[in-house]
A and B are shown apart, each in its own frame.
Chain A
């Protein structure tokens, strides 16, 4: 029998809240080995939606060619 120890730190957002590190948003976050819970904090879902909407890429088909 092989036994493997998995070191995993999982953050779960509270109800109505979203976790973010300022760049990424999520409800459940599995931290990388050098990441730390202190790097993540909760914001409301509404705030998260607003922030993410502002960061969405332009998808208009009329995006101009670069330099124009």
Chain B
């Protein structure tokens, strides 16, 4: 029987259709064995997720034609476009009265929708905004939000902002967008969402402290984003595979596909493949294939405790991104380019936050404030120059125990309310306080042997520092060779060339030996900057010089606020590490 003939008998063969997988939703295992050559194979209901299909002939070869393959994912579509609206505008009051307004004006602000879990949608609307009293003056941002009606007490995943939206079950979740425009100007605002449950209705609101908005009727746009996955369109209807004994594997994400084979074949499909494709698609859409920058409010108020980022996202803006949400673990963020961490985790339920690189931000403003469940920040990476400012980034983080700092704390900061911080965490904080007395430091400079004028031998290195005339400096150099043999240094000197206060050995100052360091305190007789040669003159040949640092008396005071509970976890010697750097410990 030819394939064409078989096609005409599909209906007759219904009794032989194999509904594979209805009871076998197990990854990587389902074998369909045909017992009748030429049987029509229907993989309908194989799985609710896409899959990869392997076809192997029982004999030496087979010809298999795709009769029907259905794309799981729809093309982009506007699900409201077919509806007709007039050009009127609805008044939406400011957010403080939105709840009652919505309640009393239930229609038209509720609208039905049909959002499917796991799909990605762009939702927007057109607004006008008008000032209302003194709070709204001239050009400013306008905002709107669309709140979704949660299903069975669940939130959805995606951009969400609760605001003051009102619902009896408190299950309103929304997406908000802002635009900066003149009064009365039409603006379009919106954002993308990926609901993780089906959503059947939503409402529109105006989140603005002062001012009223008008929403244009019929302007609500819900567009399902378009997938770029080639696999979504495979296999194509009518594709014919000629299969050798080794078989063939077909990439498919279609949950419903029909084959017609001219000989007995064995079919295996893999659910996990399809699941991965679905995940890929969702996240590729949500992250704009990795090109999305702003994740402001992206996960605001989400309820999914076990949510995890399936992609390492690279946000430049995390404003309130996790505010009030219930994720327990947040990791998978590459924040090295992020410039805004304002209230990133305010009120969040997060317990463990992974690495957070803040080196592109100039300030950390309430970043974790009121994250009362937060116990661990695995690594907080700060700028090395200590220029960042802090506005109570850990306010009310009363359970915070573990934090590791990288980089430099250079401005006032408080951990006073994180009374459970461990000693290791406190030492990490102290060790990374900016040393305001440090002029220059190098753990492994290059030491060259030199014959200084009029002396036997010595070693020198070049440093890049600025020295001011009249200031007192302490030069400390580590010598690994002589350790505690203090007397060996009795005839040793530190000489700083290239500026005037030590021009030759006759003026070099005797060193002392202290805590493993050669040390000398000098008063600069002239200012110098740039490349300055610093040398050590010894009467022995075994010197093994390593690190060098130049210090001055700190002229800046910053405050690390710990409170008495945390202070009590530190010894006075440990506290002195901070105070010697110019930090007051409150």
**Residues of A in contact with B (beta carbons under 8 Å apart):** 2, 4, 6-9, 19, 21, 23-35, 39, 56-57, 59, 61-68
Contact = CB atoms under 8 A, between A and B. Distances in A.
Given A61-B346, A62-B164, A30 B319 contact: no
Contacts of A66: 319, 342
Given A24-B559, A34-B555, A57-B392, A68 B178 contact: yes
A64 B136 CA distance: 14
Given A7-B576, A57-B395, A68-B207, A29 B369 contact: no
Which among A57, A62, A65, A67 has the greatest number of chain B C-beta atoms within 10 A?
A: A65
B347 A34 contact: no
Which DSSP category, helix, strand, loop or mixed, fits chain A's interface? loop
Given A6-B576, A7-B580, A68-B143, 8 more contacts: A25-B561, A26-B561, A28-B564, A31-B579, A34-B554, A63-B343, A65-B320, A67-B180
Interface in B344-359: 346-347
Interface residues of B, number: 59
Contact of B573 (A6, A29, A34, A35): A6
Given A28-B567, A34-B436, A65 B143 contact: yes
A57 B365 CA distance: 10
A34 B143 CA distance: 48
A30 B391 contact: no
A34 B324 contact: no
Nearest to B577: A6
Interface string B393-410: 001100000000000000
A57 B414 CA distance: 13
Interface of B: 95, 140-141, 143, 162-164, 176, 178, 180, 207-209, 296-297, 319-320, 323-324, 342-343, 346-347, 366, 369-370, 391-392, 395-396, 412, 414, 436-437, 515, 553-559, 561, 563-564, 567, 572-573, 575-576, 578-586
A28 to B, nearest CB: 6
A59 B347 contact: yes
Contact of A32 (B369, B558, B567): B558
A25 B586 contact: yes
A59 B559 CA distance: 23
B557 to A, nearest CB: 4
A35 B556 CA distance: 8
A4 B140 CA distance: 60
Given A35-B557, A59-B370, A61-B162, A68 B140 contact: yes
A60 B576 CA distance: 38
A35 B414 CA distance: 18
B580 A24 contact: no
19 contacts: A9-B579, A23-B559, A26-B561, A30-B576, A30-B586, A31-B584, A32-B581, A33-B554, A33-B579, A34-B556, A57-B392, A61-B323, A61-B324, A63-B346, A64-B209, A65-B176, A66-B342, A67-B180, A68-B208
Contacts of A35: 557, 584
B554 A32 contact: yes
Given A4-B573, A8-B572, A34 B582 contact: yes
A8 B559 CA distance: 15
A2 B515 contact: yes
A26 B575 CA distance: 15
Nearest to A7: B576
Contacts of A4: 515, 573
A63 to B, nearest CB: 7
A1 to B, nearest CB: 10
Interface centre among A25, A39, A62 (most CB of B within 10 A): A62
Contacts of B296: 65
